[in-house]
Amino acid sequence: MNAPLNPAGTESGEGARSLSGKALAASLREGTRAAVEAAPEAGRVPKLAVVTATDDESSAWYVRSLVSAAGKSGLLHEVVHLGPRASTEEVRDALRGLDEDTSVDGVILQTPLPAGVDARALAEAVPPAKDIDGANPLSLGRLAAGLAAFAPATAEAVIALLDHYEIPLRGARAVVVGRSTVVGKPLAHLLLARDATVTVCHSRTRDLPEVTREADILIAAAGQPGLLTAEHVRPGAIVIDVGTNPTPDGGLTGDVAPGAARVAGALSPVPGGVGPVTTAVLLAHVVRAAREAGIREGLRG
């Protein structure tokens, strides 16, 4: 067994250090704001577009907070509301329009989508060059092949949080609980690209605690409140909780049970851990997409 990694500042016997994402998110947002302020000199202000086809209230709340954050960073933004009865063709047409619109740099196709639409075809219709949340399977494929691509913002936020706290990834044993295309799989590729030794668990994994106790870095992305308890955590391990599960009182809780903090060396809180970093990464991706579009334009001209 490897010795457990010890993040800077963690002292044994004091419980887990809290890996807040707030300071990192603020500094990423500041970087975006500075880049946007410089943008007029480069020609134009980067723009985010969000396509929604739902009347789901929590989705609407998320889009409002994202657009508000974009506005505070000085980004232009547009929300295309198609309503919960939109067809596959209507959503596809909206995505095509945003692909052709040279003022738009980043496109997000918000979920949930209406029942009956072809979600896979729509993910494929998100323009790859503007796919700032890594929704198009092309982006995941490029990521897996080690090529330049936008990773889903949540997966990238986990890596950014680990880097922020100077947690070494090379050679570390990382266990990811969850294999979705939004979080688990892209995160596994990002960790591999950083030379971690990666295991991915899912609902059919046999003896989950035995596997997760192997982890120097344990990442919970299952969407199951309190799934990972003290028995799943190796003493001193770094635990990143991606889970955002609604509670009856209107709050959020993670996938990691409170008791795990007694064993872990460091633990990211929910809320206030990966979540704010995810939003900040998305906004940074809009600036990156605009920069890459500018480079392509320059090469053409």
Residue 247 Cβ vs ligand NDP, minimum distance, rounded to whole Å: 12
Query: What is the per-residue DSSP string for 16-39?
Result: PEE--SHHHHHHHHHHHHHHHHHH
Binds ligand NDP by CB under 6 A, chosen from 6, 20, 87, 224: 224
The Cα 79–Cα 68 span in angstroms is 11
Q: Of these, 16, 222, 261, 290, which contacts ligand NDP (CB under 6 A)? A: 222
Interface with ligand NDP includes 182 (CB under 6 A)?
A: yes
Q: Which is nearer to ligand NDP, 161 or 293 (CB)?
A: 161
State which residue, 204 or 300, has the beta carbon closest to ligand NDP: 204
| Residue 229: count of CB within 10 angstroms of its CB | 15
Question: Any contact of residue 178 with ligand NDP (CB under 6 A)?
Answer: yes
Looking at the Cβ atoms of 85 and 202, the one nearer to ligand NDP is 202
Is residue 108 within 8 Å of 282, Cβ to Cβ? yes
Region near ligand NDP per CB under 6 A, out of 128-136, 140-148, 181-189, 191-199: 181-189
Sign of the Cα torsion 44, 70, 241, 225 reads: negative
Binding residues among 137-176 for ligand NDP as defined by CB under 6 A: 154
Size of the site for ligand NDP (CB under 6 A): 26
Q: How far is the CB of 174 from ligand NDP (least distance, A)?
A: 15
User: Beta strand 266-267 with 17-18: parallel, antiparallel or unpaired?
Assistant: parallel
Which of these, 231, 186, 187, lies nearest to 213 by C-alpha position?
A: 231
Please name the amino acid found at residue 18. S
Token pair, residue 67, equals 């657009």
The distance of closest approach from Cβ of residue 34 to ligand NDP in the complex, given in angstroms and rounded to an integer, is: 24
The 8 Å CB, 24+ separation contacts for 200-205 are: 200/175, 200/176, 201/175, 201/176, 201/177, 202/177, 202/178, 205/177
Under the binding rule (CB under 6 A), the answer on residue 204 touching ligand NDP is yes
Whose Cβ is closer to ligand NDP: residue 188's or residue 227's?
227
Give the binding site for ligand NDP (CB under 6 A).
154, 177-180, 182-184, 201-205, 208, 221-224, 227, 242-245, 274-275, 278
